[in-house]
Amino acid sequence: MIKTLPSGIFTVLRSRRGQRNLRVLAAFFLVLAAMIVAFTFCFHYLMLREGQEHTWLTGLYWTLTVMSTLGFGDITFHTDLGRAFSILVLLSGMIFLLVLLPFTFIEFFYEPWMQAQAESRAPRRLPATTEGHVLLTHYDPVTAALIRRLEQFRYRYAVIVPDLEEALRLHDLGVDVLVGDLDDPECWRRARVDQAALVATTGNDVTNTHVAFTVREIAEKVPIVSTATHQDSVDVQMLAGSKSVLRLEEMIGQSFSRRMLGGDALAHVVGRFDEILIAEATAHRTPLVGKTLLESDLRRKVGVSVLGVWERGTFGAARPDTTIHDHTVLVLACTKETLDRYNELLAIYNVSGEPALILGGGRVGRATARALATRGVEYRIVEKVEGRVKDTRRCIVGDAADLDVLKQAGVEKAPAIIITTRDDDVNVYLAVYCRRLRPNVQIIARATHDRNVSTLHRAGADMVLSYASMGAGAIMDMLKKSEVMTVVEGLDLFRAEVSKALDGKTIAESSIREETGCSVVGIRTGDALRVVPDPETVLEAGASLILIGTSESEQAFFERFSDEARGRRSAP
């Protein structure tokens, strides 16, 4: 940003427009100076005709006071000719000093200077040394959540914005921006796209396709992640150059389906890291309810490890004395074989024939319905707009805030209510309303903006899935590749080397879980991978750990156990 007037002037004068403006200003001031000199000479001539004699400085003083309309009156003419000359000087001063001078100064200096200041806040190119940065194309809820993660992992980024005013607004919000048109190849060259770590575009399908095609023409190797609303657009965007195309509505619909308590008690895979599978399983109406994790003895019976539990939207680390409740969702680490054994053990439980209730038949609602149908779970959709949901047998047309409509949809017996509209205000209203109607029913809600997640929990939702966080997590997975993988919202799998602080200690002795909240789910030594290692496993230098934890837990782990962080603490 321009911090001083000299640097601002220098910036203005470097441009061709600035040089032209300088010539205009110089011409104006030359004319003004010539007028002042001429009036000063005339003043002396007329005063001598009246018999008055003054110095040249006095003549300049009189000319400036009259032209500026100050007119102190200490020096006056006594003849009509002198008074007429005074009127001419006064009118000239009013025109040149009070009208033309401010206009000329603002038009040819102040406005270009302010524009130069604005352009310094919203640049049109990145420095030539910029590399490893992330380029974003739209500032929306997904991008806002992604920016927070990029800042956490110290990635440089820039949001490309076509409109200067919008770019300045985002800059004032603390967002790093770059002014340019998304369909202009030169804009992407100025953004150093060939040196970028990732390009993420989250606009509509047509714009995303155009962005991918334009970027791919300039940079052949940079990864491009785009979002798509329609299934047909996925192939088109891949052909245009996208490395990965995310259908966020489908992703959140799948997550809603996995989190629903009714239907079955099977474990559903939510992520994979090397050979380790991460799965979620509801404990609803199973023999696990009422037991502690130690009493459940799942590790010995089927070989899975419970990494943590979701309790009404809050994730907690798994401890031996953690009690499993009817609304508990278990987060499991397992292999394909141990997952099958878990499902064989609990497949007969939590079988329900009552349909789940989906409020909202938009893209997320329809995606949730498809995911439930894949599980064999019956559902009903409540949607205002007739014809939006094609399966009329499972759709009730009406307002979800209407009690009669909800009763017709089966709200009194539904095992779960899933709120999927894109309007967070509506979702909060429906969460409060449904919790009042059914105090013990499971309520899962969508939040478009991260800031409304806690509000929806307070409104009565047992679990809230953030559309923004899910999209940001998926993009971060692409950026960090094998280093970090978002399993579910707020929960990441990541890799870390065994540091000197951990070398020779067992997992139990290291106190990783106690000090950071992370859990060790795997240890890789060379080509060998141990899934869900025993707490007495000794950690050795050269091995890499696979851990799971929240973003805060991950940061705490690296601050506590990485050699680099310990080196900084020990430095004088």
The DSSP-derived string for 60-99 is HHHHHHHHTT---SSS---SHHHHHHHHHHHHHHIIIIII
Look at residues 319, 305, 309 and name the one whose alpha carbon lies nearest to residue 277. Answer: 305
276 and 307, same structural domain? yes
Positions of the chain with pLDDT lower than 50, given as ranges: 1-4, 482, 565-572
CA dist., res. 11 & res. 57, Å (int): 37
Asked, for residue 240, whether it belongs to a domain, the answer is: yes
277 and 330, same structural domain? yes
pLDDT of residue 486: 65
**CATH number of residue 502's parent domain:** 3.30.70.1450
158 and 93, same structural domain? no
Asked, for residue 323, whether it belongs to a domain, the answer is: yes
Q: One-letter amino acid identity for 103?
A: F
Q: One-letter amino acid identity for 11?
A: T
Look at residues 525, 475, 487 and name the one whose alpha carbon lies nearest to residue 334. Answer: 487
Angle at 105 between CA 101 and CA 108, to 5 degrees: 130
Of the chain, the end-to-end C-alpha distance in Å amounts to 34
pLDDT of residue 13: 55
pLDDT of residue 146: 93
DSSP 292: B
DSSP H helices in 333-421: 336-346, 363-375, 403-409
CA dist., res. 468 & res. 147, Å (int): 11
- Please name every residue paired with 305 in a beta bridge, in sequence order, or none if there are none: 333
Which tokens in the block code for residue 519?
């859990």
Asked, for residue 253, whether it belongs to a domain, the answer is: no
pLDDT of residue 111: 75
pLDDT of residue 177: 92
452 and 379, same structural domain? yes
pTM recorded for the entire structure: 0.68
Asked, for residue 235, whether it belongs to a domain, the answer is: yes
Q: What are phi and psi of 446, to 5 degrees?
A: -95, 140
Last residue of a domain, one of 62, 96, 120: 120
CA 530 from centroid of its chain's CA atoms: 35
Instruction: Find tokens 């789940």 and name the residue.
Output: 356
341 and 274, same structural domain? yes
387 and 342, same structural domain? no
Q: One-letter amino acid identity for 84?
A: A
198 and 180, same structural domain? yes
Q: One-letter amino acid identity for 293?
A: L
CA dist., res. 431 & res. 449, Å (int): 16
- Give the dihedral sign, CA 424/426/429/432: negative
68 and 164, same structural domain? no
241 and 170, same structural domain? yes
Last residue of a domain, one of 434, 468, 502: 468
Q: What are phi and psi of 75, to 5 degrees?
A: -130, 120
Q: What are phi and psi of 292, to 5 degrees?
A: -85, 165
pLDDT of residue 570: 39
What are the Cα distances from residue 177, in Å, to 73, 227, 242, 295?
57, 21, 22, 54
**Who's near 31: CB < 8 A, 6+ residues apart?**
none
Asked, for residue 317, whether it belongs to a domain, the answer is: yes
Number of domains in the chain: 5
Last residue of a domain, one of 183, 214, 246: 246
- Using DSSP, state whether 202 is helix, strand or coil: coil
pLDDT of residue 290: 92
- Whether residue 135 contacts residue 199, with contact meaning beta carbons closer than 8 Å, is answered with yes
Asked, for residue 257, whether it belongs to a domain, the answer is: no
370 and 323, same structural domain? no
Look at residues 226, 216, 227, 221 and name the one whose alpha carbon lies nearest to residue 197. Answer: 221
Range of the domain at 499: 490-570
pLDDT of residue 227: 95
110 and 184, same structural domain? no
Asked, for residue 480, whether it belongs to a domain, the answer is: no
Angle at 260 between CA 444 and CA 409, to 5 degrees: 75
**CATH number of residue 79's parent domain:** 1.10.287.70
- Using DSSP, state whether 134 is helix, strand or coil: strand
pLDDT of residue 487: 64
DSSP 177-189: EEE--TT-HHHHH
324 and 377, same structural domain? no
Pairing label, strands 305-311, 356-359: unpaired
- Report the half-sphere exposure of 4 (CA within 13 A, side-chain side): 3
Q: How many CB atoms lie within 10 A of CB 471?
A: 24
Asked, for residue 390, whether it belongs to a domain, the answer is: yes
**Who's near 477: CB < 8 A, 6+ residues apart?**
484, 485, 486
Q: What are phi and psi of 278, to 5 degrees?
A: -110, 125
